[in-house]
């Protein structure tokens, strides 16, 4: 079981380190001068994934997940964190990096190792699942008509969530915000 933790840990720590140091992702100056059609999906994906803060976020997450896998107390948390990272990489590789099927097989193998870790800790996983799913009741009981108002409430929440951004734009660009608001009202009233 220790090897099933150390292999993906070392691999993903090295992948994360490569992203943080610029050894992974990005294009050369000659490649940047080419048209999108000439680059192909693989190089285009590497260019897009090389943008910050995406590259640093993914690299940092890979390092953290790998480090968590190394210690017994945090191995399960590391596996839980690493699963979506590895699955996402697999989907990206299947979609864009069609020229390297060996990498796809390696990622499938690492995902299998993650599930082996889950199986090893299945007792704890089951206990956590039961804790999260059993005995949950709503804090408040709602009448049936309240569920009919959910679409209106969702729109209200969406508007409430946009208010800080609107306040920021109004403070930063008051004339443009006013003009946009008037244009929106005219469009709605037509």
Does the pLDDT at position 11 exceed 90? Answer: yes
Compute the half-sphere exposure of residue 88: CA atoms within 13 Å on the CB side of its CA. Answer: 9
Q: What is the pLDDT of residues 136-190, one digit of tens each?
A: 777 788 898 999 999 999 999 999 999 999 899 899 999 998 898 899 889 988 8
User: Do residue 15 and residue 51 come from a single domain?
Assistant: yes
User: Do residue 63 and residue 13 come from a single domain?
Assistant: yes
Q: Is the dihedral of CA 174, 176, 178, 184 positive or negative?
A: negative
User: Do residue 78 and residue 148 come from a single domain?
Assistant: no
CA distance 2 to 116: 11
Domain of 28, in residue numbers: 2-125
Contact 45, 97 (CB under 8 A): yes
Task: Please report whether residue 137 resides in a domain.
Answer: no
User: Do residue 74 and residue 151 come from a single domain?
Assistant: no
CA distance 97 to 51: 18
Average pLDDT over residues 21-36: 85
Q: pLDDT value at position 41?
A: 84
Contact 109, 85 (CB under 8 A): no
The token pair that represents 146 in the structure block: 């309240």
Does the pLDDT at position 53 exceed 70? Answer: yes
Contact 111, 65 (CB under 8 A): no
User: Do residue 110 and residue 158 come from a single domain?
Assistant: no
Q: pLDDT value at position 99?
A: 66
Instruction: Decide which of 73 and 100 is more confident.
Output: 73
pTM: 0.76
Task: Please report whether residue 139 resides in a domain.
Answer: no
User: Do residue 27 and residue 104 come from a single domain?
Assistant: yes
Compute the half-sphere exposure of residue 96: CA atoms within 13 Å on the CB side of its CA. Answer: 16
CA distance 110 to 7: 8
User: Do residue 65 and residue 118 come from a single domain?
Assistant: yes
CA-wise closest residue to 116 among 81, 76, 86? 76
* Dihedral, 45, 50, 55, 56 alpha carbons, nearest 10: 170
CA distance 110 to 13: 13
User: Do residue 8 and residue 85 come from a single domain?
Assistant: yes
Contact 16, 60 (CB under 8 A): yes
């Amino acid at each position: 079981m220790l090897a099933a933790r150390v292999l993906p840990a070392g691999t993903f720590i090295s992948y994360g380190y490569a992203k943080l140091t610029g050894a992974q992702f990005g294009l050369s100056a000659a490649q940047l001068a080419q048209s999108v059609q000439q680059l192909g999906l693989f190089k285009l994906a590497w260019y897009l994934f090389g943008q910050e803060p995406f590259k640093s976020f993914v690299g940092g997450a890979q390092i953290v997940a790998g480090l968590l896998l190394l210690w017994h107390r945090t191995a399960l948390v590391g596996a839980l964190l690493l699963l979506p990272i590895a699955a996402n990489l697999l989907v990206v590789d299947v979609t864009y990096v069609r020229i390297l099927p060996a990498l796809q097989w390696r990622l499938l193998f690492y995902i299998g190792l993650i599930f082996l870790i889950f199986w090893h800790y299945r007792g704890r996983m089951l206990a956590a699942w039961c804790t999260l799913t059993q005995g949950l009741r709503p804090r408040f009981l709602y009448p049936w008509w309240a569920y009919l108002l959910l679409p209106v409430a969702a729109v209200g929440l969406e508007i409430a969530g946009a208010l800080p951004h609107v306040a920021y734009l109004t403070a930063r660009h008051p004339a443009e915000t006013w003009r946009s608001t008037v244009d929106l009202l005219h469009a709605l009233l037509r």
